[in-house]
């Protein structure tokens, strides 16, 4: 007997019937950069097609995203001023706090996730409070919890700590509960590597460290077992969902974490993954749209339930051409 797998590939209808993985717009979370002040949205050079929005423009953009069938956004703030402790991150009139209000007013059902971290708000650009030239873990926890509570108060559905301090999931959960926000969720960037793929983001969010690097808190790209440890810890500390970041170079990690994780698993298709496709497309070297769809499919196939991606709007338009 001949084994002929090509029988299942003979026509589009047959291929549709046997397809194991499908993408929908509901898989996507779109990252938005919001800066203080008023005015026009500003293009981000290193991320063609992405913008820094101001609070007055963010509601309209939220409407576009919702209309495309994308259920959720994750917000990153670029504050009016920075200081050593990132105090604008937990101010009630901070840029994220205002942006949440503007989005919820315009599109109440859009699920708003906020990135909880200090690197955009500190003058030194590190993700925590500096003591003796190093990021002080436990001093940072207090500020992160304060920031998370202020996001919840402003109306965030989920807070997503991306700082990689030890114990921050438990610390934030405790503070949210103590302040009456038991119903708000926590998505942990549980498995976050110290990656060069974040380069364009640091331009977009103006968050590059002014000295040293993030290897003292973010994970070593060489480690896979440690990813399981980080995921188990954050599940134990009370995370509602966990994340692996970056996505594409770490699909083995996505798969391994999926196997041990009973929570929805998110993967972050980061800025460098996006910009490489855009650059090669601009050079005429690849079909950017097809590469985009293949990447997103591969991330889902590896085991991600949800994908944070700058491609969300483009991919949604491709999935549902009628909506454009």
Q: Which residues are catalytic?
A: 192, 245
Residue 198, interface with ligand PBG (CB under 6 A)?
Answer: yes
One residue of 35, 89, 96, 115 binding ligand PBG per CB under 6 A: 115
Residue 201, interface with ligand PBG (CB under 6 A)?
Answer: yes
Residue 250, interface with ligand PBG (CB under 6 A)?
Answer: no
Residue 270, interface with ligand PBG (CB under 6 A)?
Answer: yes
- For residues 203 and 192, is the Cβ–Cβ distance under 8 A? no
Taking the least distance from each CB to ligand PBG, the nearer of 59 and 100 is 100
Residue 216, interface with ligand PBG (CB under 6 A)?
Answer: no
- For residues 73 and 112, is the Cβ–Cβ distance under 8 A? yes
Residue 237, interface with ligand PBG (CB under 6 A)?
Answer: no
Q: Closest approach of Cβ 270 to ligand PBG, in Å? A: 4
Q: Closest approach of Cβ 19 to ligand PBG, in Å? A: 29
Residue 312, interface with ligand PBG (CB under 6 A)?
Answer: no
Both structure tokens of 275: 């910009």
- Which range touches ligand PBG (CB under 6 A), out of 55-63, 100-108, 196-204, 293-301? 196-204
End-to-end Cα separation, the chain, in angstroms: 49
Taking the least distance from each CB to ligand PBG, the nearer of 23 and 267 is 267
- Which range touches ligand PBG (CB under 6 A), out of 20-28, 90-98, 115-123, 284-292? 115-123
From residue 280 to residue 299, the character string flagging contacts with ligand PBG as x (rule: CB under 6 A) and all else as - is: --------------------
How big is the site for ligand PBG, counted in residues (CB under 6 A)?
10
Residues that bind ligand PBG (CB under 6 A): 115, 117, 119, 162, 198, 201-202, 214, 270-271
């Amino acid at each position: 007997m001949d084994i002929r797998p090509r029988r299942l590939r003979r026509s589009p209808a047959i291929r549709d019937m046997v397809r194991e993985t499908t993408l929908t717009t509901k898989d996507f979370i779109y990252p938005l950069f919001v800066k203080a002040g008023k005015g026009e949205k500003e293009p981000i050079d290193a991320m063609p097609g992405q913008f820094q929005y101001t609070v007055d423009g963010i509601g309209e953009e939220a409407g576009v995203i919702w209309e495309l069938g994308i259920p959720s956004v994750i917000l990153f703030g670029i504050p009016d001023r920075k200081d050593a402790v990132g105090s604008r991150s937990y101010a009630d009139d901070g840029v994220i706090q205002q942006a949440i209000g503007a989005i919820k007013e315009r599109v109440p059902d859009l699920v708003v996730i906020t990135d909880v971290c200090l690197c955009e708000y500190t003058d030194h650009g590190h993700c925590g409070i500096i003591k003796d030239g190093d990021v002080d873990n436990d001093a940072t926890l207090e500020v992160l919890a304060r920031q998370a509570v202020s996001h919840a108060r402003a109306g965030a559905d989920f807070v997503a700590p991306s700082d990689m301090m030890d114990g921050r999931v438990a610390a934030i959960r405790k503070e949210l509960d103590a302040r009456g926000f038991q119903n708000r969720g926590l998505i942990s960037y549980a498995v976050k590597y110290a990656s060069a793929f974040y380069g364009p983001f640091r331009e977009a969010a103006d968050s590059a460290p002014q000295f040293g690097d993030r290897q003292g808190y973010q994970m070593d790209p060489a480690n896979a077992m440690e990813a399981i440890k980080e995921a188990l810890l954050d599940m134990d500390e009370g995370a509602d969902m966990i994340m692996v970041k970056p996505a594409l170079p770490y699909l083995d990690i996505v798969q391994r974490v999926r196997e041990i994780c009973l929570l929805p698993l998110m993967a972050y298709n980061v800025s460098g993954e996006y910009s490489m496709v855009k650059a090669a497309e601009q050079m005429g070297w690849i079909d950017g749209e097809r590469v985009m769809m293949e990447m997103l499919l591969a991330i889902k196939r590896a085991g991600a339930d949800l994908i944070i991606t700058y491609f969300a709007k483009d991919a949604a338009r491709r999935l549902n051409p009628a909506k454009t």
